[in-house]
């Protein structure tokens, strides 16, 4: 085997190894992109759930609902003038 043939074989082997490294790198980047996409879907779903929970919280904590629950469940009522005491300094 001549020196140039050996050099050609080494260069071909190096090109093959480089091509395999490029393919592996591409594979890893695709896998990472898939993970990022799945994580983004989870984040979006959690954002929707958080928004729904905030709406639910505001619904349950609105003043009219609290007052209605106090009247119906606890038999509470707003004191009239006779039930109000004025404190003067």
User: What whole-number distance in Å separates Cα of residue 48 and Cα of residue 73?
Assistant: 32
Query: Is 35 a member of any domain?
Result: yes
Contact 59, 65 (CB under 8 A): yes
Structural domain harbouring 12: 3-73
- For residues 80 and 9, the model is more confident at 9
pTM higher than the cut 0.75: no
Query: Is 80 a member of any domain?
Result: no
**Which DSSP symbol is given to 14?**
H
pLDDT score at 1? 77
Contact 71, 77 (CB under 8 A): yes
Query: Is 44 a member of any domain?
Result: yes
Query: Is 83 a member of any domain?
Result: no
**Polymer length in residues for the chain:** 89
Q: How many domains does the chain have?
A: 1
Query: Is 82 a member of any domain?
Result: no
- Could you report the per-residue pLDDT of 32-89, keeping only the tens digit for each? 999 999 999 999 999 999 999 999 888 877 777 778 888 888 888 878 888 788 888 8
Query: Is 45 a member of any domain?
Result: yes
Query: Is 54 a member of any domain?
Result: yes
């Amino acid at each position: 085997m001549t020196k140039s043939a050996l050099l050609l074989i080494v260069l071909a082997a190096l090109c093959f190894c480089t091509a395999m490294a490029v393919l592996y790198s591409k594979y890893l980047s695709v896998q990472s992109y898939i993970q990022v996409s799945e994580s983004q879907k989870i984040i979006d779903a959690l954002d929707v759930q958080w928004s729904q929970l905030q709406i639910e919280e505001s619904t349950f904590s609105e003043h009219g609902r609290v007052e209605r629950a106090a009247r119906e469940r606890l038999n509470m009522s707003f004191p009239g003038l006779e039930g109000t005491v004025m404190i003067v300094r």
